[in-house]
A and B are shown apart, each in its own frame.
Chain A
Amino acid sequence: MNKTGLLMTAVALVASGVWAQDDNQLVINGEIEIITDAPAPEYISGLDTIYSGWRFRQPAMQQLEMDDFENPASLAIDDAVEQWSMVEGSEGKSCASCHEDVEDSMAGVRAVYPKWNEGAGEVRTLANQINTCRTENMGAEAWKYDGTQMTGAEALIGMQSRGMPVNVAVDGPAHETWKKGEEMYYTRYGQLELSCASCHEENYDNYIRADHLSQGQINGFPAFRLKQNRLIQTHNRFKGCIRDTRAETFSPGSPEFVALELYVASRGNGLSVEAPSVRP
């Protein structure tokens, strides 16, 4: 790069401060305090501070997440509450048969998933675990990995951890999967040759046309995405992002996305769980 080019880059970097993510504080229903920035975990070399996607949104959209009566995900939550005690499958059980009150039994669960499952000898996402419960304990059919019922159940379970810091394990038996996820994060896919890091690490807080790039944190997932007018599951968003690099994407529930989810979740260790969030 010539001198002028360097100067221009410097100017652009300084100028980007103008659009820095805001300092607003997220408190849900006037009582659940959400940590939306935190020091980056030491294994993330490309970031100093991690920020929830909420901090990159316009105040009017931020507001939608501050009160459950305004949160458009609330209808899906109502359905999921009903589903929680719905008996299905050959064993005559519902989720509530074993887990009773979702508010008590599921508190803290979202914060540590994806997580190593010793019996299965693999890392499992929350959705993997829900489907295992359905097929093995309820004798019911597995849900579509990123379908409406699964996404609703994840949102309901996620809600019970709101305000708790994300704390997925990156070492021990999960480490190998985590490394795979890390490699994916920095792989430049597709004809546009973009990695997750190209936008969400190198260029967060910049704009791609009108889109304000966040760090791509998933502490708010499932997220109610206004553009699609429904709750969107983590793997569904991964799929869309990689598709948008003009690549052959991966499938929701694939081993690749399980690994990527673990890695991306770990980049948010220290932020609060804030599912179901509201995003553009």
Chain B
Amino acid sequence: MRRTLIAIAGLGLASMAQAQEVSPLNVAFDEYGEIAESLTGTPGDPAAGQKVMATKSMGNCVACHQITGLDAAFQGTVGPSLDGAGDRWEVAQLRGIVADAKKTFPDTVMPGFYKVQGFIRPGNAFTGKAGTEPLPPLLNATQIEDVVAYLVTLKE
């Protein structure tokens, strides 16, 4: 009886944890820079992800990347085209790259969108003044999952 109760309580905790967001401080990257577990525990929304990627005040991914199917003017050329990203990468790889691309490509110029500390002279957003780590992430967990959900739809 007692043991069963403990087991049930344990299950309850596990499912609660799943429904909770993974803090940027607790993201589990594997040795290749991949993140197997969803950061939110719920599936991302591709349409919302598309908006995050195209909007300057949000991800602004098109500042550097090109996506043929995305309605955004002046797409940048610093990063590779993301057309077909969903063919080339697994979900865990995409999640890892969006959250902190340097774990996958150590020399990339791509910022970590779910990285909050370990910076040189961290600032308070774009004020030029000092910020205090951990900084707010560039995108929140939901936005990361939305972007990943959109990227997996990019098939050629």
Contacts and interface: CB of A to CB of B under 8 A. Distances in A.
- The answer to whether A and B interact is yes
B153 interface: no
A218 B77 CA distance: 24
A210 B74 contact: yes
B138 interface: yes
B129 interface: yes
Nearest to B135: A191
Nearest to A10: B80
What range describes how many residues of A lie at the interface? 35 or more
Interface stretch (B1-9, B12-20, B118-126, B142-150): B118-126
A187 interface: yes
Interface string B106-121: 0001011001000111
Interface stretch (A66-74, A112-120, A141-149, A241-249): A241-249
A196 to B, nearest CB: 12
B88 interface: yes
Contact of B138 (A188, A191, A199, A208): A191
A239 interface: yes
B109 A198 contact: yes
B80 A8 contact: yes
Contacts of B123: 190-191, 243, 245-249
Interface stretch (A11-19, A80-88, A172-180, A259-267): A11-19
Given A209-B63, A248-B129, A190 B80 contact: no
B111 A192 contact: yes
Contacts of A189: 119-121
A5 interface: yes
Query: Considering the complex of A and B, which 7 residue pairs feature the smallest CB-CB distances, nearest first?
Result: A243-B128, A248-B130, A210-B74, A249-B128, A198-B109, A192-B111, A8-B80
Interface of B: 56, 60, 62-64, 73-78, 80-81, 84, 87-88, 102, 105, 109, 111-112, 115, 119-131, 135, 138
